[in-house]
Structure formats: structure tokens, C-alpha cells
Structure 1
Amino acid sequence: MKIRKAVFPVAGFGTRMLPATKAIPKEMITLVDKPLIQYAVEEAVEAGIEEIIFITGRFKRAIEDHFDKSIELEIALKESKKEKEYEILSKISEMCDFITVRQKEQKGLGHAIYCARDVLGKDPFVVILPDDIISYKESVTGQLIKKFEEFGSPVLAITEVPAEETYKYGIVDIEKKMDERTFKLKGMVEKPKSNPPSNYAIIGRYVLTYDVLKAIEECDTNQGEIQLTDAIRKVTKDQSSYGYLYDGLRFDCGNKIGYLDATIHFALNRDDLKDDFTKILKKYC
């Protein structure tokens, strides 16, 4: 079955990026010349996603507006003969279909995804956390979808992290290695305080099934939140789930250092910027 839908949970406050996020959604902070969320949307579209479901909260209207048409601006660009700018702008709203669902209370990632249940139906779907910006040759979402097509079971993007940092992530418990990049899972632990089952962390890309949605409904709250990892762990007890060591370079743009790292990387990989930007960096090195 072709995977057509992706869920983007974007209702959070973005407290790690204050004060910038006091009035601007963290997903709309600019990375070089595009908002963070556009990088993730483009990755999803490259993977064949046709419908993106934003799970939003209050003060997130800017995200909807960015992916909507801006008739007045497009007319102004045409009249000013700014054809390149017009082409870039007009493509944004045409990439795919965008749907917005409001998460009225912030009750965890699992709850945010469950808010999309009526739109998702019983089809498999992708979840993308747009804080995680990934530089890739092949869309990481596309890599996961290929693995899902092979196994027909949930597939999570994983990356190796230092043992001393495992407490920051959901950490997978590996049953066996299937190939160089693929692992069959027997469970996972959310932010283990000690004795992590491995040093492979789950990052913000998932291919999930309707069974995960049903499991979310059955999950208990943990400190007022419903955790996605709890639901996936429930499903893993009855059927197979897989971790995939994706090919790409990930930046955590939900914090300042990760965002600055990403800015340097993406600027230096732009032919129109790299020479001048290199000269600027040399002034400070």
C-alpha cells in the first residue's frame, strides 16, 4: 500500500529557542532562507507524500499561512518582474495537500499523533518531527518507506549516540541485526536514566501503522503525557518493528547549538553562498 500521509506535530512552545519563539513558531525560524519546517516538508514530498497533516496549537497560524497561497505577494512579484522569486513562492503551496488539526491540550507526542486519527483512517503513515533537520542524498523518509514496503511493519529512524547521551532520547532494544542498517527490535525505552538497552536513539522520522494508533488509545499517561514510544512498544510485543540506521546528517534545530551547526552546514552547501560565507567564517576562526 502506498504511503500518502505524513503527520507533523507542531503544537509545542519551543522553549529551548526562547526568546525567538515568544511570537514566532519555532518551526518558522529561518534556516538560511527557508523556515525549518519547509525542509522537512520537502523531504516528505520527495518521498512521495501527498498529504501533510499539521497538528497545531494556539499561535501557530504562521505555519498554515506559509503553505497557503499568497495572491497579493505573487501578483506583486510578477508586476516587479521578479520571476525567480515568484516561481519559488508559488511552488510552496503546490507541493502537496495541507490539512490542519488542532491539539487543544499538549499531552505528549502520542496524543498529538492520535489527534490525526480521523484523517489517517486505517492507512499506514509517516510521522516527522521538524526539529530534526537532515541533510541527505536520498530523503530519509523515503529510505524508511522502502523498508516499510519490505517488512510491512513499523520502521523507526535510528542513529548511534554516545553512551553518556542516551538519557536524552528514546533508545531501542535490539533483537537482531537484519542487515548493515536494519535492526529488528524487541522494545524501546524513553530517556533511560540508567542501563540503556543500546546506544541507538530514535530520531524524528517514523513509518507507523494503524495498530500504533490503536495502541496510543490504550496507553496510560506518564506525568500527564501519552508517549509514542509506549504505543510502539505495545505493538512490538505482538508484531515486528524495525529500526533503520538512516543515511544522512541530522541536526537538532530545537536547540541553539544544533541550529547554528545546521546554518553553517546548509550555507556552505549552497553554491550561491558558500564562497562569501567562507570568507565571513574565516574572519572569526
Structure 2
Amino acid sequence: MVKKAVIPVAGFGTRLLPITKAQPKEMLPVVNKPIVQYVVEDLVDVGIKDILFITGKGKQAIENHFDVNYELECKLEKSGKLDLLKIIKEIDNLGNIFYVRQKEQKGLGDAVLYGEEFVGDEYFIAMVGDTIYSKNIVKDLIKVHKKYGCSVIALERVPMEDVHKYGVIDGEEVEEGIYKINNMVEKPNIEEAPSNLIITGAYLLSPKIFEKIKETPVGRGGEVQITDAMNLLLKEEDILGVEISCKRYDIGDVFGWLKANVEIGVEKFPEFREFLKNFVEKLE
């Protein structure tokens, strides 16, 4: 039912400077592969093969990563490094990937709008390119969409002192872990926050969102906010939120990046766990 995805990756990554001066933050490694590859793999895992990246200046490394590198593959084959060649070829086959450049950074809502012609009149997935999860939450979004037939977004419950960093929802629970959303507020103060359920950056959206983005005035931070556009959509269609039951890694700063490397490394690679344990014990 859901066949296409849009991944905005045009941001400067200023909280990770100077790492991101010439390197896209979405291409920073988490253990053994770049952040954005985790995002793409989750999409492909649920059968979404047509993926559009909304890029910006300095993001060519993303295009190069998902492109075929014939010289490298030939070198690996000639040197007998067939295990590495297999890994590289798997990246080559991660779906049909397209690119369009956001001409000016005007917010997530504006970035998603660049996917209008690509998406057409279908429901689609939108995923930010700097957030990964310990399980494939796209499956949860699609499951809820199949049951209710409307837009669905991923939510996470956070401490109240953190709500000012995110979009926050006001809603009512319709079944365990699923909320009918009444309103959304972008980065509210604690006193103004309607709940501590935040929008995590994973969306399954109605194609009508494009019409609503066009009607959305510039909002917080001088940008077109996707939360404002979804509030307009709420006047005509339901939007549900599903509370995630896994870890989320928001790799917007150095601390988040380091944490993701350690926790995912420990989870996926037993040898990494032992190495890290011994390494930390030797630290003064």
C-alpha cells in the first residue's frame, strides 16, 4: 500500500561542526555504516524501493555512497576480497534512489514539499536522515495505517525538561500506544507543552499534506514547519500517533553520535562489547 519514501537531508548539521563542515552528518558512521544507510535499509525491509532524497549543497557524498563504484568493486574482486565486495554490492541494490536539491533551507515542511511530484496521490513515508531506531518502526506505522486508513506518525515519551527540543502532540489514547492527535506544538516551553509525547521524525503521510504545506505560513525559526502543516491537515483528516517501543538515536550532536556508536556496537557486535569493557576498565 505504501510504496514511496522521502528523506530530507539538506540541513547543515551545525550542532556537529566542525565534523560536518565538508561531511554530511547523515554520512557519519555508526559502527560500520553511515547513519542514512540504516534509514534506507529499514525502508527497503518493508518493501519500499522508490526513495527520494531531498539534498542540499555539500551532500554529494550521499549520492556517491548509494551509487555503483565500479573501480572499487573491480579492485576488491581482483584482490579476492569477496566478503567486502558482497557488502558493497548490497548497497548498490538498496532500491531505486532519486535526488532533488532543496534550493534554500526553509524547514522540514518545505523540504517534504519537494517530494510532491515524486509521490503523486499516494500515501508515503517521510523519514529524517539523522535519526535511527533499534527496531524497524516503519513496520509499526504501516500496521496502524492499514487498520485506520489515515496518516500515522511515530511518537516517543520523553522527560518534560526535553520537550522544548521537539514537536509535541496533544491527543487521546484510542488503544494501547496509539493516539488520536488533536493538536501539535513545535518546540514548546514546558509550561505550554500539552504532553511529553514528542514527534520523532518518522511519518506516514497523506498526499494531501503537500496542499497543506503550501498553505502553511513561515513559523518557528523562520521556517515552514511540518507540524504546522499537519495541524492544517488535522482539520480535514485524522492523524494518529504510535508510541515507539524501542530506542531512538537522534544524532544531531556529538553526544548523540557517540551514544549511538556505543549502544548499537554493543548490541550488534559481541566482540565490540568485550573490547569496550576492557578499554573502559583501563581508562584512568
The 4+ residue runs of structure 1 with deviation greater than 4 A are none
Gaps of 5+ in 2: none
Distance (whole Å) between structure 2 residues aligned to residue 183 and residue 31 of structure 1 = 32
Match of 1:105 in 2: 104
RMSD: 1.2
Match of 2:206 in 1: 209
| 1:220 aligns to 2:217 (yes or no) | yes
Distance (whole Å) between structure 1 residues aligned to residue 277 and residue 80 of structure 2 = 31
Taking only the aligned residue pairs, the percentage that are identical comes to 39
Match of 1:149 in 2: 146
1:251-272 C-alpha deviation (Å, 9 max, x unpaired): 1111111111111111112134
| 1:19 aligns to 2:18 (yes or no) | yes
- For 1:21, what is the secondary structure of its paired residue? coil
Match of 1:165 in 2: 162
Match of 1:282 in 2: 281
Once the 2 structures are TM-superposed, how far is the Cα of residue 273 of structure 1 from its aligned partner? 2.6
Distance (whole Å) between structure 2 residues aligned to residue 257 and residue 283 of structure 1 = 22
Distance (whole Å) between structure 2 residues aligned to residue 274 and residue 248 of structure 1 = 20
Distance (whole Å) between structure 2 residues aligned to residue 213 and residue 271 of structure 1 = 45
Tell me, yes or no, if the aligned pair for 1:172 and 1:189 is still in contact at 8 Å.
Answer: yes
Distance (whole Å) between structure 2 residues aligned to residue 151 and residue 284 of structure 1 = 52
What pairs with 1:133-148 in structure 2 (closer than 5 Å)?
A: 133-136=132-135, 139-148=136-145
What pairs with 1:49-60 in structure 2 (closer than 5 Å)?
A: 49-60=48-59
Tell me, yes or no, if the aligned pair for 1:51 and 1:98 is still in contact at 8 Å.
Answer: yes
What pairs with 1:69-80 in structure 2 (closer than 5 Å)?
A: 69-80=68-79
Tell me, yes or no, if the aligned pair for 1:161 and 1:199 is still in contact at 8 Å.
Answer: yes
Tell me, yes or no, if the aligned pair for 1:7 and 1:113 is still in contact at 8 Å.
Answer: yes
How many aligned positions are there? 281
What pairs with 1:55-70 in structure 2 (closer than 5 Å)?
A: 55-70=54-69
Residue from 235, 238, 244 that aligns with 2:236? 238
1:234-280 C-alpha deviation (Å, 9 max, x unpaired): 11122211110022101111111111111111111213432223221
- For 1:8, what is the secondary structure of its paired residue? strand
1:134-182 C-alpha deviation (Å, 9 max, x unpaired): 112xx101111111111111111000011121111100011x2111110
Match of 2:174 in 1: 178
Match of 1:121 in 2: 120
1:199-239 C-alpha deviation (Å, 9 max, x unpaired): 10000100001111110011111253111001111111222
Match of 1:198 in 2: 195
What is the TM-score of this pair, normalised by structure 2?
Answer: 0.96
Tell me, yes or no, if the aligned pair for 1:268 and 1:278 is still in contact at 8 Å.
Answer: no
Match of 2:247 in 1: 249
Match of 2:183 in 1: 187
Once the 2 structures are TM-superposed, how far is the Cα of residue 59 of structure 1 from its aligned partner? 0.8
Distance (whole Å) between structure 2 residues aligned to residue 191 and residue 226 of structure 1 = 14
| 1:34 aligns to 2:33 (yes or no) | yes
Distance (whole Å) between structure 2 residues aligned to residue 264 and residue 232 of structure 1 = 35
Tell me, yes or no, if the aligned pair for 1:131 and 1:252 is still in contact at 8 Å.
Answer: yes
Tell me, yes or no, if the aligned pair for 1:47 and 1:141 is still in contact at 8 Å.
Answer: yes
- For 1:112, what is the secondary structure of its paired residue? helix
Distance (whole Å) between structure 2 residues aligned to residue 159 and residue 265 of structure 1 = 18
Tell me, yes or no, if the aligned pair for 1:134 and 1:248 is still in contact at 8 Å.
Answer: yes
Once the 2 structures are TM-superposed, how far is the Cα of residue 122 of structure 1 from its aligned partner? 0.8
Tell me, yes or no, if the aligned pair for 1:25 and 1:62 is still in contact at 8 Å.
Answer: yes
